[in-house]
Structure 1
Amino acid sequence: MKLKEMLLDSFWYSVSDWKKLIILGILLVLLDSEGGFSGSWALNGLNVIIFIVILILGVLEAGYIFRVLEESVEGSKKLPKFNRFHEMTVHGLKELVIVTVYFAIPLFLFIMFLWGSNTSADITMAGFLIFIVLMGIIYILFPAVMLNMAHNHGTIRSGLDFRAIIRKIRYLGFRDLVVVYTGMFMILGIVKLVLTDNLSTLPLMGDLISQLLIAPFVLLFTTRMLGLMDKE
């Protein structure tokens, strides 16, 4: 599939079901909410409940987005339904584990680097640069990680199968994967920023459109685009 066809497909796919788009937007709004966290945790047990609810919503959101990716690589042309919540939860938890494993590695190495060396400014800067490089490598690897999981029913093992992940990168083309995936995020990020700034003149309506429509659209679009790059 050519790039133009992938872009058009991803656009129409993302807006094909406004009900599902808005439901995803509501999830994102609730996840961004910080109003419930105030006061002392010891004195306000409501904070604990709010945290648990937000964690559950985050897992469901991750599970749904994984389903979008999984069904996209299988050739589906419709947004998946918000059902089979047990399956969504399991996939969301698995994705959370994989994200934690991958992005905790450079953070752990950075902390160990600083802990095992003198805390001079030069060494600290060198450690920080190494941390940035490792994060960049993982950022490049991660789309292939998610695609490999999508082809293997979301198993944690497939998310850590480095040989299969490297083969996936070679199959997709390292340059194409980096250019398309990074460029896509940059362009959509700029579009979202411009639209959000323009809508800020409409305090209530602008926030509503941005959070309920633009944010979920960007998420669906990028996920669909990634799935089409490796469609079966």
Structure 2
Amino acid sequence: MILDIYKDALEYSAKDWKTLVILGVICFFSFLFLPLFLITGYNYRVINTAVHGIINGRDPLPEFDDLIGMFVDGVKVVIVQIGYLLVPFIVFLIFAFISASITGVASSALMIIGCLITFVLVIVACLMNQMGLCHMANHDGAFTKAFAVTEIKEVIDEVGWFNCIATYVGLIIITLVISLVVTAIIYGIFTLFGLSGAILGADPSGIFLLGALINSAIAMFIVGPYLSIFNARSIGLLYTMQL
């Protein structure tokens, strides 16, 4: 089932390259801060489509319409993310404050314990956060459903904690592999061009710079948006395993 989710999401994310470029342009202006909410809002639409779809179905990519609604959805997503991450952050601060008030081995031991507990809480918070967004989408965008902890835990129990964690680990690995492979291919090509130019007596620095610029452009306008949609689609389909 998990492999089916990956296969569906990988194919789904490549349905419309124009969409990837549009997301890339929005990402390019993310330094203005506000476009970030459009990106998170679009990813939420991808989740919503997946939650109401099926694996290996014919779901289309969401349209770029109702930008105000997309922006509002993006704000809600960010609030949910911050809300869940606040818990491990506060726990970490408590351990840090207590360990700072004592000295010696006890201080170090307490800080190590605090870091381990925080790490576990971060994993749980991320699972709750992602399933919370799916739960919100499954209930017509009802914001309170994103924090319906008992209901969300029941969803995770139905899907299986192992399946959830395994899926997220797989998403991290696939994301890293795709990013590294694309970067390696681009730099490999321009390294060959650069070495060929150097053999012919030309200065290869310009070729290497061009390779770096092209790699950055592809990462921003193609690979980044593709992986963003891939992750959002996978999360939404994971939620449907309990339906």
| Cα distance in 2, alignment partners of residues 161 and 172 from structure 1 | 17
CA contact (8 A) 2:24 2:220 kept: yes
From 169, 177, 183, the equivalent of 2:170 is: 183
Q: What is the CA-CA distance between 1:3 and the residue it aligns to?
A: 4.0
* Distance of aligned partners of 1:115 and 1:230 in 2 relative to their CA distance in 1, 3 Å threshold: closer
SS of 1:230's partner is helix
Q: Paired residue for 1:65?
A: 43
* Distance of aligned partners of 1:5 and 1:124 in 2 relative to their CA distance in 1, 3 Å threshold: closer
After TM superposition, the runs of 4+ consecutive aligned structure 1 residues lying more than 4 A away are none
Q: What is the CA-CA distance between 1:16 and the residue it aligns to?
A: 1.0
CA contact (8 A) 2:50 2:233 kept: yes
CA contact (8 A) 1:110 1:127 kept: yes
Q: What is the CA-CA distance between 1:115 and the residue it aligns to?
A: 2.2
Q: Paired residue for 2:75?
A: 93
| Cα distance in 2, alignment partners of residues 21 and 190 from structure 1 | 19
From 56, 62, 86, the equivalent of 1:104 is: 86
Q: What is the CA-CA distance between 1:6 and the residue it aligns to?
A: 3.0
Q: Paired residue for 2:159?
A: 172
* Letter matched to residue 179 of structure 2: K
CA contact (8 A) 1:21 1:217 kept: yes
CA contact (8 A) 2:183 2:215 kept: yes
| Cα distance in 2, alignment partners of residues 58 and 139 from structure 1 | 19
| Cα distance in 2, alignment partners of residues 162 and 194 from structure 1 | 38
Cα offsets for 1:98-157 (capped at 9, x unmatched)? 111111111112212322442433322222222222112212333322211111223321
CA contact (8 A) 1:114 1:124 kept: yes
| Cα distance in 2, alignment partners of residues 140 and 73 from structure 1 | 16
CA contact (8 A) 1:94 1:154 kept: no
Report the structure number with the largest CA radius of gyration.
2
Q: TM-score scaled to structure 1, two decimals? A: 0.82
Q: Paired residue for 1:23?
A: 22
**Is 2:193 the partner of 1:211?**
no
Q: Percent identity?
A: 26
Q: Paired residue for 2:193?
A: none
CA contact (8 A) 2:37 2:74 kept: yes
| Cα distance in 2, alignment partners of residues 3 and 123 from structure 1 | 38
**Is 2:147 the partner of 1:160?**
yes
Identify which range, 22-31 or 90-99, moves more after superposition: 22-31
| Cα distance in 2, alignment partners of residues 157 and 79 from structure 1 | 26
**Is 2:115 the partner of 1:128?**
yes
Q: TM-score scaled to structure 2, two decimals? A: 0.78
| Cα distance in 2, alignment partners of residues 156 and 62 from structure 1 | 15
CA contact (8 A) 1:94 1:155 kept: no
* Distance of aligned partners of 1:106 and 1:6 in 2 relative to their CA distance in 1, 3 Å threshold: closer
Cα offsets for 1:20-44 (capped at 9, x unmatched)? 111112222333x5xxxxxxxxxxx
Q: What is the CA-CA distance between 1:11 and the residue it aligns to?
A: 2.0
Unaligned runs of 5+ residues in structure 1 are 34-52
From 233, 238, 243, the equivalent of 1:229 is: 238
Kindly tell me the number of residue pairs found equivalent between the two proteins.
210
Q: What is the CA-CA distance between 1:213 and the residue it aligns to?
A: 0.7
